[in-house]
Amino acid sequence: MFSDLRPLPLDPLWALQNAHRDDPRPHKLNLGIGIYRDAHGHTPVLNAVQHAERALADAAPSKVYRPLSGNADFTAAMTRLLLGDHTPTLERTLDRAVTVQTVGGTGALRTLADLIASANPEATVWTSNPGYANHHPLMRAAGLLTAEYPWHDDGTGQTDLSPMLGTLDAAQPGDILLVQGCCHNPTGIDLSQESWHALASSCQERGLIPLIDMAYQGLGKGLTEDAQGLRIMTRQLGTVLIAASCSKNMGLYCERTGTATVLVPHPHEKPAVLSVLEGIARRTYSMPPEHGAAIAATLLNTPHPWHAELGTMRDRIRTVRETLGAALRAAHAPHDLLTIEHHQGMFSLLPLTPHQMDTLREHHAIYGTREGRINIAGIPDHAITPLAHALIAVYGR
């Protein structure tokens, strides 16, 4: 049966991980994979998570199967985290929302892709270029077509909307606009508030349905600020899809915790959407895992300790960015390298060619993706100045 099967090429990100693992140089620096690290290079379990885990262990609730849609405390709290806790129109928006628990943000994207394929198999999913490496494979695995819109810096660290909207002229009504809600992976370039408004109007005029990928809420400007674009969309449009992840903002990476939310124009459409989402879960893995969702529900419903720790992570990312920017300036770096100062969230896309990224790895033991992405949140304090010097050495002045 498997004799003709050929191994797939190793995912470039995992290949990079392996190369870093096998590199004997003691000063090697892994800026490839997107995980948060503290000033010493560690990714500890949040205190709020440890408390929640102890409480859950003490309470020793049963391990019986949970519902197909997951932990209801978790999905309700996530819906509010995404759509807004205190807005005057929230209750009306919540009436239109269906949320199910998913296996991480990836599971949310795939579940929503399957939902789209059930409702409109002809839909093309438009995603950014450059963009998240897994968007195309995830959407195509559900049988959907994909296309790309450009995602460029307008010179101030925000997305230039004109080429994006120009490309979307080719989109058909019913197509899906997959857009990252904040802290864009891999560029760190986000939409301004005005651009979100313009994009929402454009979706309305063209009949496009936004699918907002929210993988980094709280790691850019703040939990509320990072959801502003998403909320502009949900206020203005009848149908919005949201894929959310708790991997980064709660440090629950391996617990695979996320949600898929579907906002429908009329509450009477909710039962059908929920039943299709549950059907997708049933035929894929049946019930989602409880542990991460139960932890996340505790964090969301007693938020102060979590907010404090999330604030620490966010502040550190910002400080690393500023310090790296200052080190680049002090060493008279060219302007192009300084764009990292404007970016948001864990990542920045450097203006380096794949060959220059190879040189960075080979000569300086600094591992970023060949496309030029580095994980700003992964730079230990002691490595900031050497990194600035290495970047200038490779890029030139």
Q: Rule CB under 6 A: which residues touch ligand PMP?
A: 34, 104-106, 132, 180, 185, 213, 215, 245, 247, 258
| Contacts with 335 (C-beta within 8 Å, 6 or more apart), sequence order | none
Least distance between ligand PMP and beta carbon 52 (Å): 18
Helix and strand totals (H; E) in the chain: 15, 11
Give the C-alpha separation, 293 to 70, whole Å. Answer: 8
To ligand PMP, the closest distance from the beta carbon of 292 in angstroms equals 10
Q: Alpha carbon of 243 to those of 40, 100, 172, 258, 396: distances in Å?
A: 31, 10, 22, 8, 40
Output 258 or 325, the one with its CB closest to ligand PMP. 258
Nearer to ligand PMP, 16 or 384 (CB): 16
DSSP, collapsed to helix, strand or coil, labels residue 7 as coil
Phi-psi category of residue 233: left, alpha or beta, with phi > 0 → left and psi -120 to 50 → alpha? alpha
Cβ of residue 211: shortest distance to ligand PMP, in angstroms?
11
User: 231 or 373, CB closer to ligand PMP?
Assistant: 373
Q: How far is the CB of 209 from ligand PMP (least distance, A)?
A: 18
**Whether the bond into 88 is cis, omega within 30 of 0:** no
For residues 96 and 263, is the Cβ–Cβ distance under 8 A?
yes
Nearer to ligand PMP, 35 or 237 (CB): 35
Q: Which is nearer to ligand PMP, 106 or 348 (CB)?
A: 106
How many C-beta atoms surround the C-beta of residue 381 within 10 A?
A: 14
Peptide bond into 186 cis (omega under 30): yes
Strand partners, 374: 348
Based on CB atoms, which residue is closest to ligand PMP, 178 or 365? 178
For the CB of residue 253, give the shortest distance to ligand PMP in the complex, in Å. 6
Query: Shortest gap between Cβ of 180 and ligand PMP (angstroms)?
Result: 5
- Using DSSP, state whether 267 is helix, strand or coil: helix
In the complex, least distance from residue 104 CB atom to ligand PMP, rounded to whole angstroms: 3
Considering the complex, what minimum distance in angstroms separates the CB of residue 155 from ligand PMP? 24
Which lies closer to ligand PMP via its Cβ, residue 105 or residue 157? 105
Radius of gyration for the chain, computed over Cα atoms and rounded to the nearest angstrom? 21
Assigned token pair, 239: 């149908």
Beta-carbon count within 10 A of 22 CB: 8
DSSP 121-138: TTPEEEEEES--TTHHHH
Q: Using DSSP, state whether 367 is helix, strand or coil.
A: strand
Report how far residue 35's alpha carbon sits from residue 261's, in angstroms, rounded to the nearest whole number.
24
Least distance from C-beta 358 to ligand PMP, angstroms? 23
Amino acid sitting at position 155: G
Q: Which is nearer to ligand PMP, 202 or 217 (CB)?
A: 217
Quote the CA–CA distance of 333 and 242 in Å, as a whole number. 39
Of the pair 84, 258, the CB lying nearest ligand PMP is at: 258
